[in-house]
Amino acid sequence: MLASGSRGNCAIVASARTRILVDAGISGRETFKRMKALSEDPHSLAAILITHEHCDHIHGLATLAKRLRIPVFMTGATHQAWARALRDERGEKLQLEKYERFESGHRFQVGDIEVKPFTIPHDAADPVGFTFRAEGIKVGFATDLGYLPVSVRDHLRGCDVLVMESNHDLEMLRVGPYPWSVKQRVMSRVGHLSNEALADFFSNDYDNSATFVVLAHLSEQNNHPEIARREAERALSTRGGLFHNRVLLAEQTEALAPIRL
């Protein structure tokens, strides 16, 4: 997890042979810097995958795509929305040398990693989460979603690593500084997942399969890492899974130490 939160999201998923960048929400320069600090070579990346076109997921995309000249995978609607935003905001014409289109629900292959995108409820053109499979390991990503529909819960079964949004504490959001319209957006069915909603999933629906649970996309205004951790650990312990599960917190300002399986 190179960066996570409303100021930029970026992660690497890798097998022994293939490395994929998931989202490009921090600047190209910062992405390179954080990769190098982890002894990761940016030029070893095989592809960039984009979940949706919000700025905190695509901010560094144009630069990275240009410098690395690797395929960029996104849905057709996300691609259009991104191109439109780029044209409106910067007057730049879209130039993606290697654009690869995928459709939600249809798996595809990047090297030896099988990618399955699935639809998530969020206020973007065509937002997706991902599961990745390689070498008998399954990794699931679900951030930027207003709630956890049954379809998403199904996709997340059997994951060895689960990256889950734990965006806000409901009470902190309610009494916090955001204008009411923004609070409503965050809390809506197409907004962001609260600690409480994630805890509900862990206590009632989660299959206890993950060796690592990563809490991601934490709000800096409306959450506190220790509150998010406590909520998640409490919910996981009701499943007897606390000793098995290791709860990690992805951060905005620095990369998380790599998780190796």
Work out whether 126 is an interface residue with Zn ion (CB under 5 A): no
Residue among 31, 35, 49, 54 that touches Zn ion (CB under 5 A): 54
Q: Hey, what are 260's tokens?
A: 């190796």
Work out whether 144 is an interface residue with Zn ion (CB under 5 A): yes
- CB nearer to Zn ion: give 126 or 169: 126
Q: Tell me the C-alpha distance between 72 and 60, whole Å.
A: 12
Site for Zn ion, residues 55 to 84, rule: CB under 5 A = 56
Shortest CB 51 distance to Zn ion, Å: 8
| 50 within 8 A of 86, measured Cβ to Cβ | no
Contact window for Zn ion (CB under 5 A) among 38-46, 52-60, 182-190, 239-247? 52-60
- CB nearer to Zn ion: give 77 or 242: 77
Q: Tell me the C-alpha distance between 92 and 7, whole Å.
A: 22
Provide CB contacts within 8 A for 154, sequence distance 6+.
Answer: none
Binding marks (x or -) toward Zn ion, 8..47, rule CB under 5 A?
Answer: ----------------------------------------
| 31 within 8 A of 66, measured Cβ to Cβ | no
Size of the site for Zn ion (CB under 5 A): 3
Work out whether 116 is an interface residue with Zn ion (CB under 5 A): no
User: Helices in the chain by DSSP H: which ranges?
Assistant: 28-37, 55-58, 61-68, 76-90, 150-155, 170-175, 180-187, 195-204, 225-237
Q: Which residues bind Zn ion (CB under 5 A)?
A: 54, 56, 144
